[in-house]
Amino acid sequence: MAEPLGTGDKDVATHLHSYTNLAALPQTPPLVIVEGDGIHVVDENGRRYLEAMSGLWCASLGFSNKRLAEAGAKALKTLPYYHTFNQRTNVAVADLAERLLALAPVPMARVFFANSGSEANDSAVKMVWYYHNAIGQPERKKIIARRNAYHGVTVAAASMGGLDGNHRDFDLPIATAPARFLHVDCPHHYRYAEPGETEQDFSSRLAQQLEQTILAEGPHTVAAFIAEPVMGAGGVLVPPAGYFEKVQAVLRKYGVLMIADEVICGFGRTGNMFGSTTFGIQPDILSCAKALSSGYVPISAVMVNEKVHSAIAANSGKLGSFGHGYTYSGHPVACAVALETLKVYEDERILDHVRELAPAFQAGLRAFAERPWVGNVRGVGLIGAIELMADKAARTPFAADRKAGYRFAALALEEGLIVRAMGDSIGLCPPLIITRAELDDLFARLARAMDRFE
């Protein structure tokens, strides 16, 4: 009888991987992670890794929180499933909606639930269109996003995203005439500012570009602007001084809705409960996911303000129903785990912990600025990035085929450290529960990887 396949071989033979070079997979077998322990994960050979990316920017409470496991188990035993269509509800979804409205960075009126950041952002787009139809401005259909933005992979979310790899050969952004998804420049001061241009001047230039785009398209056709407070997958781009103030002045002038994509920034990452608070954003619509459940169960949420909610509600009255929702919207198990996550944040004073640790995290990162391959270091709270450069003095990037980010991430992995390669930037987004001693360990491993990088 043939030997049963090991997990890696079985996986390569059967599993169509997300975000993977599928053609190369047989030569580069997957890393099989079997368990989690605090901020560490362990592979099938017993090797431990410090997970400095919280998985995919989500496992804020690390990988072994018992309270979340117990909340999930209890919910599974009490009511493992029920839906929220047609006036049905459950205790956990009502409690969670109430809690989220209490935490919202600006007054919000209602919360819609989905399962992923992509679905939350797709839902936001549909709400924006529905809203403008409802208020008698049906020509307002265009959504403006930023180059390098990441908003997910469903058709509308990926259309809003500004990363080539999410568009190419997927026929995205979705083609309509006139186009509904537009992109303006991203606020990466280090890369795109003119020589000597201050952050404030750079922000003014980007706000002017946004205004010119709105005017060129016709303000009566522009529905919404979407932005992550800190752009995550695009390279951890912290907005330059004045950016959101200037951008929002333009949006207000032309009656354009603001959508904050808080999928990464939400729930403490930037040192406040929401990135909108850190950067003075007043969203009409806010999407969040990931740390809402510490990544333990799939759940996302879209909060809408009263202006949006009242128009949507009135229109649904006219049409007979708000024809949008998922089988798993407000899933009782996911909501119970999310509620417990929010309680843990409060009981364990996670926000205070982030604020206490952020200066050491940011200083530790910035210490790498002196290294020969490091062009730029940036971050806020407990999120940051190091941008590698082939020649830092001349600001010459590495050639694409040198795959600097991937080579660095591979070296870090050999040092037992999981970081994320984003082009030539290395992302760090450790669990919010990381301790000071673990932070020192993180930077020691990062330094060893940097010593070996060439």
Which residues form the interface with ligand PLP (CB under 6 A)? Answer: 56-57, 116-118, 121, 150-152, 228, 232-233, 261, 263-264, 289
Which residue's CB is nearer to ligand PLP, number 374 or number 382?
Answer: 382
Residue 114 Cβ, how far from ligand PLP at the closest point, in Å? 9
Dihedral angle computed from the Cα positions of residues 400, 443, 354 and 264, in that order, rounded to the nearest 10 degrees: 20
DSSP E strands: which ranges in 339-419? 374-380, 383-388, 417-418
Sign of the CA dihedral with 416 first, then 421, 425, and 430 last: negative
Strands (E), 342-419: 374-380, 383-388, 417-418
Q: Which is nearer to ligand PLP, 134 or 265 (CB)?
A: 265
SS3 260: strand
User: CA-to-CA distance for 62 and 296, rounded, in angstroms?
Assistant: 10
CB of 296 to ligand PLP, least distance (A): 13
Q: Which is nearer to ligand PLP, 273 or 289 (CB)?
A: 289
Q: Which residue is nearest to ligand PLP (CB)?
A: 117
Nearest distance in Å: CB 77, ligand PLP: 27
Minimal distance, residue 261 CB to ligand PLP, in Å: 5
Residue with smaller CB distance to ligand PLP, 72 or 234: 234
Give the dihedral sign, CA 173/426/17/302.
Answer: negative
Q: How far is the CB of 255 from ligand PLP (least distance, A)?
A: 25
What is the closest distance, in whole angstroms, from the C-beta atom of residue 269 to ligand PLP in the complex?
11
Residue (270 or 373) nearer to ligand PLP, CB: 270
State how far the Cα of 1 lies from the Cα of 25, in Å rounded to an integer.
Answer: 27
Q: Which one, 289 or 311, has the nearer CB to ligand PLP?
A: 289
List, in order, residues 6 or more apart from 334 with CB less than 8 Å away.
Answer: 113, 115, 293, 297, 298, 299, 328
Q: Residues 354, 268: contact at Cβ < 8 Å?
A: yes
- As measured in angstroms, the least distance from the Cβ of 11 to ligand PLP is 20
Cβ closer to ligand PLP: 182 or 263? 263
Nearer to ligand PLP, 286 or 389 (CB): 286
Alpha carbons 24 and 35: distance in angstroms, whole number: 26
CA atoms within 13 A on the CB side of 435: 4
- Nearest-Å Rg of the Cα atoms of the chain is 22
Q: Closest distance between ligand PLP and the C-beta of residue 257, in Å?
A: 17
At a CB cut-off of 8 Å and minimum separation 6, what does 422 contact?
A: 233, 234, 235, 236, 385, 405
